[in-house]
Chains A and B, each alone.
Chain A
Amino acid sequence: MAKILHVSDKHVTIYIKIRGKMQHGGKRMDKHLNSIVINNSDTIVKDWLVEVSKNRHNDYTSAISEDLFESTNREFVNVIFSSLEKQGITSELDDFSEKLINLGWPLSYLTDGLQAFRRVTINFILSQSEKVDSDHLSKVLDMVDNWVDPIINQLVNEYSGSWEHIVSLQRVALQELSAPLIPVMENITIMPLIGTIDTERAKLIMENLLEGVIKHNADVVLIDITGVPVVDTMVAHHIIQAAEAVRLIGSTCILVGIRPEIAQTIVNLGIDLGKFPTKSSLRKGFQAALEMTNRKIVHEKGSDEGIESLLDSLNGE
């Protein structure tokens, strides 16, 4: 009767102690153990599926359909076995992890699955063994670790690589969004600001603003703060500084989009915005900008008449 050992986390510490002595035999996988695993893959897979399904109800995968969960588990376990057969990381593993990343499955599905796999496999091998001494135990643990660990490493690398990639893309996207400059007309440029402004962003805004004024040769630049949720002393200070800097390089700044509550906070905080022009809406600001550049909006007579005659003809009916 084979001795069934319950393998728990405790064994990890035992293993580490033993490994110190056994290092020289470590990396090479034991052929005999390999064949036990490969020949009994069906049993191991069955046990593993039971283990994985246990986790299913109380976590992230519970929202996934039964079919998809089943088929993904099958694919997963195939990938694990193929890496044993081929003795290393396979392209199937890359494909599989890429697929899961795209599906948005959490990394913990994979790491939990692999941990379950480690437990199941070790239990199985030990249950097949005649005698279990520390030498044998360390061999088994070594073999399973050499098999499972590279897969875990590879998956973690894939996942974190993908996260880093996404974060860096988002950072670039955010930076592009954070201080856009729109040249709407010769000599008139608009900078719409949306979202919270911190010191870092304020610096970026000022740099973009000044470079943009030079680049577009803008006589007037409108800063639209309609989309800035809170204007406190700090934000107001940065905006005033930007406007002062714009004046120094020889252009004029109009602050537009001042909502009633922002006007209230500005006055209540005692911030002096009197030094440069402000307007409640972008439209009014734009009109002021046109006046400053000696232009104005002229309504064409022709189109007005067209509409009037159209209205007349409608009335006539």
Chain B
Amino acid sequence: MRIPILKLHNYLLISIQTDLDDKTAIQFQEDLLSKIHKSGATGVVIDLTSVDIIDSFIAKVLGDVVTMSDLMGAKVVLTGIQPAVAMTLIDLGIHLKDVQTALDLEQGLIKLRQELEE
């Protein structure tokens, strides 16, 4: 199973709508990086509104993908992390320190634009 990645101007938009298993997550990491490479996108929004579990593995994949994208010159914002998921991450001791977040897709795009203008 593959997660669709949409392109909008200079941005890539991803909405994860499925219960992520390890393979899908790794596949997504590869897909996103090659898409950034091909499209030259400068910003990425990953919307997690429909994700109801993020365990330490998925958190690591997401954290890594943010760092990797940054290395390739694309800023990433995670949006729509559910309260239950956020609390679980905190309990796990995962703080995703270097990751930008926003309440929803719209706010995420605003945040990206601000970051990129600076």
List residues of A whose CB falls within 8 A of some B CB: 206-207, 210-211, 213-214, 217, 219, 241, 244-251
Contacts and interface: CB of A to CB of B under 8 A. Distances in A.
Given A250-B79, A250-B80, A245 B86 contact: yes
B103 A244 contact: no
Nearest to A247: B101
Interface residues of B, number: 19
Contacts of A245: 83, 86-87, 89-90
B111 to A, nearest CB: 8
A121 B79 CA distance: 78
B83 A250 contact: no
Contacts of B90: 241, 244-245, 248
Interface in B10-66: none
B76 interface: no
A211 B96 CA distance: 20
A210 B86 contact: yes
Given A210-B83, A213-B83, A219-B103, 11 more contacts: A207-B83, A207-B87, A210-B87, A241-B90, A244-B95, A248-B89, A249-B80, A249-B83, A250-B78, A250-B79, A251-B103
Contacts of B108: 250
B67 interface: no
Nearest to A203: B87
Contacts of B112: none
Contacts of B79: 250
24 contacts: A206-B87, A207-B83, A210-B87, A213-B83, A213-B103, A214-B83, A214-B103, A217-B104, A219-B103, A219-B107, A245-B90, A248-B81, A248-B86, A248-B90, A248-B96, A248-B101, A249-B81, A249-B86, A249-B103, A250-B79, A250-B80, A250-B81, A250-B104, A250-B107
Contacts of B78: 250
